[in-house]
Amino acid sequence: MHLVLRSDRAKGAKSLLKYDALVRALITKIARRHGVRIYRVVNAGNHLHITLKLSKQFLWRGFISGITGGIARAVQRKRDVKSKCGFWNSRPFTRLISWGRDYNIVKDYHTLNQLEADGVVPPRWQMLRPERWRHVVLAFT
């Protein structure tokens, strides 16, 4: 499964990149507790991409509520009293992926997101054609 968690509030002092080690440790701890296998976690600053495998469907609710609440508490520390919005923009985006070609496409997408977050390649909205960045992704895989 491909999971995306996005937060527009994760900017500046609350950027997920500043809490990368804490976020990864929290995801690993909760995944181990709920029997979820994590294949890859990509932290892009204001959103997270996670590739995971659930052994049982009923484990999803505890896992997703654990990581979303834990990350929001760790990053935000104090909730903005005046704000009625939470830390996350909306519900998590999920997509079921199959092994093989589909998994490789998601893996390349994760690599590209990590390179953008690290500043190695410019963001996609600045690029005109995929030919400009495809060779970079292939070099890092």
pLDDT by residue, tens only, the chain of 141 residues: 888 888 877 677 777 777 888 888 999 999 999 889 999 888 887 888 898 988 888 888 888 888 988 888 877 765 555 556 677 777 888 888 888 888 887 887 777 777 777 776 666 555 556 666 666 667 766
Structural domain for 11, as ranges: 1-96
* Distance (Å, whole) CA 87 – CA 35: 26
Residues 74 and 121 occupy one common structural domain: no
Give the pairing of strands 47-54 and 2-6. antiparallel
Task: Provide the pLDDT for residue 136.
Answer: 67
- Give the pLDDT confidence score for residue 90 in this predicted structure: 76
| H or E stretch covering 41 | strand 36-43
Is there a single domain that holds both residue 89 and residue 128? Answer: no
pTM of the model: 0.71
The Cα–Cα gap between 97 and 86 comes to 29
Domains contained in the chain, number = 2
pLDDT of residue 121: 67
pLDDT at site 123: 64
User: What angle separates helix 20-34 from helix 60-76, to the nearest 10 degrees?
Assistant: 160
